[in-house]
Amino acid sequence: MQSRDVSKAVILVAMAVALSPFFIPVGISKCFPAQHMINVIAAVMLGPVYAVAIAMAAAIIRNLLGLGTLLAFPGGMIGALVAGIFYKSTRNIYVAGLGEIFGTGVLGSLAAVYIAGPMLLGKTIAVGTLMIAFSISTIGGSVIGIVALHLLQKGGVWQPVSK
């Protein structure tokens, strides 16, 4: 573990929390495009383990501050993991973005229904409702994350690693 990577992770958690007031309310969920942007950036720059840790830390802090919901855990963490795995296997930022979209929009929403819904919220949640809400949020955030990575590369802050 390099201190530089830990520093980047702390900055990404801080950004996710600082951008938390910007959300899209959809039913009982709050869609946070900024978290998905951070997930894509973290997955590409730091890998799947850091990406999951960043998503988890941001979700914990947002919930403690009353800025998030329990749905942040399955949605953000699964999306970050899949984005990181997809990037690690292809070294393609667009594939990482697709991994975030699939991980959050499909897998995360299914996990939210079966884990967070009945156990933590005490309500039955429609799969379609969460899938649409999670997908809208993650598509926008993933696109912003890819644009941000291009800007970071152009600015010399980040360079892709060859496969």
Q: DSSP string spanning 2-70?
A: -HHHHHHHHHHHHHHHHTTT--EEETTEEE-HHHHHHHHHHHHHH-HHHHHHHHHHHHHHHHHTTS--T
Q: Judging by DSSP bridges, how do beta strands 24-26 and 29-31 pair with one another?
A: antiparallel
- Tens of pLDDT, residues 109-144: 888 877 655 554 555 556 777 788 889 889 989 999
pTM above 0.85, yes or no: yes
* Domain extents in the chain: 33-154
pLDDT per position as a tens digit, 96-109: 999 999 999 999 98
